[in-house]
């Protein structure tokens, strides 16, 4: 009996381990809606909506100028967080990195054993993504501090080897330093050459760029475009004609659930069957099945040839995002430096 009591006491006195960790906590406890304007996020705030792209490779773009981190899955934005990067004398290096190590309960080996929850190490000389202080300006010793809850979600979602691009206006084009809804870089960290449709070009379809993998479709009222992503690579783009382009439609997510009957919703195809789609609206966060048209009074048309190419590609897990928001970045002629601004070194712990 005494042994049992000692065991129970020992369990209660331990910090939460594999079943849950006990850490210092920074930032907001819950995300704001993904459609929250990025420039309105206050220190410690973040957005996160992983359902918008249920599958696909994950990458993070950190803008030193904006002091924000942008997380993409399958090339589509699923979350934005305010961050704090390196202060004067301890700059955060720019370049393309992959995560080398993940440690849910890391402590610094060079800064007084400081707690660094949800560490994803980027270099051998101490730079990492991790939960940390967020005063609203660069304050770290070179690491990228994230809100704790954002760091936890990213840690759980991202695999080891995830690509992280850290950029500023001196090392990257505007589309990378100020990312948009679609990822400005590939999963390997190279700048995406998202060529716009020519004036006489109705659509573009290049499935050979990524032959297999999860499919995500984004339709933007602001841009009047539909963009198709696979494995984070754009494989198709088309013009979209809205009957009432000035009327708001909000933001909606549709996810196909049945490979045998899944078809795009009728807002994408006249008379198309709507079966086994799960609908998630940012405004009410309620699931419905089967789903009715999320856009009942604002139809749009897509070139039939483009749909004939797209529809056979739709399978279970295909996501369709319909949004008011602009998704296309502004192009810049500045080339991106793909090499880190700091040489690798060893022998120091992360900060």
* Residues forming the active site: 130, 143
Q: Are 155 and 99 in contact (CB under 8 A)?
A: no
Task: Give the Cα separation of 254 and 329 in Å (integer).
Answer: 24
Tokens of 53: 């792209």
Backbone angles phi, psi at 240, to 5 degrees: -130, 130
Place of tokens 């440690």: 103
| Cα torsion 154, 158, 160, 161: sign | negative
Strand, coil or helix: 117: strand
Q: Are 93 and 167 in contact (CB under 8 A)?
A: no
Task: Give the Cα separation of 287 and 321 in Å (integer).
Answer: 15
Task: Give the Cα separation of 311 and 278 in Å (integer).
Answer: 17
Q: How many angstroms separate the first and last alpha carbons of the chain? A: 45
- In sequence order, what DSSP letters do the residues of 25-38 get, joined into one string? --S-SSPBPTTS-G
Asked if omega into 290 is within 30° of 0 (cis), the reply is yes
Task: Return the beta strands (E) in 5-100 as ranges.
Answer: 46-48, 58-63, 68-73, 76-82, 95-98
Place of tokens 């573009």: 204
Displacement of CA 1 from its chain's centroid (Å): 51
């Amino acid at each position: 009996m005494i042994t049992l009591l000692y065991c129970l006491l020992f369990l209660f006195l331990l910090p939460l381990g594999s079943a849950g960790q006990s850490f210092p906590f920074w930032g907001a406890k819950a995300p704001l809606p993904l459609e929250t304007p990025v420039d309105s996020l206050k220190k410690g705030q973040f957005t996160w909506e992983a359902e918008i792209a249920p599958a696909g490779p994950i990458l993070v773009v950190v803008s030193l100028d904006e002091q924000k981190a942008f997380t993409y899955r399958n090339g589509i934005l699923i979350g934005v967080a305010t961050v704090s990067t390196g202060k004067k004398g301890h700059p955060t290096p720019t370049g393309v990195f992959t995560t080398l190590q993940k440690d849910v309960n890391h402590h610094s080996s060079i800064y007084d054993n400081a707690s660094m929850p949800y560490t994803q190490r980027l270099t051998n000389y101490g730079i990492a993504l991790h939960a940390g202080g967020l005063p609203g300006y660069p304050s770290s010793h070179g690491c990228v501090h994230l809100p704790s809850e954002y760091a936890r979600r990213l840690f759980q979602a991202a695999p080891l080897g995830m690509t992280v691009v850290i950029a500023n206006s001196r090392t990257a084009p505007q589309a990378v330093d100020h990312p948009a809804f679609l990822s400005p870089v590939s999963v390997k960290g190279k700048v995406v050459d998202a060529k716009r449709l020519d004036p006489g070009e109705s659509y573009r379809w290049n499935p050979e760029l990524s032959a297999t993998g999860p499919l995500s479709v984004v339709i933007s009222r602001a841009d009047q475009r539909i963009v198709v992503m696979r494995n984070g690579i754009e494989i198709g783009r088309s013009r979209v004609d809205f009957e009432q382009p000035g009327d708001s439609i909000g933001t909606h997510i549709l996810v196909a659930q049945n490979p045998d009957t899944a078809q795009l919703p009728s807002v994408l195809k006249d008379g198309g069957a709507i079966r086994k789609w799960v609908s998630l609206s940012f405004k009410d966060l309620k699931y419905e099945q089967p789903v009715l048209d999320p856009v009942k009074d604002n139809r749009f048309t897509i070139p039939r040839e483009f749909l004939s190419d797209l529809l056979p590609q739709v399978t279970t897990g295909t996501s369709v995002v319909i949004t008011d928001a602009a998704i296309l970045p502004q192009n810049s002629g500045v080339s991106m430096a793909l090499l880190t601004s700091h040489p690798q070194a060893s022998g120091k712990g992360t900060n």
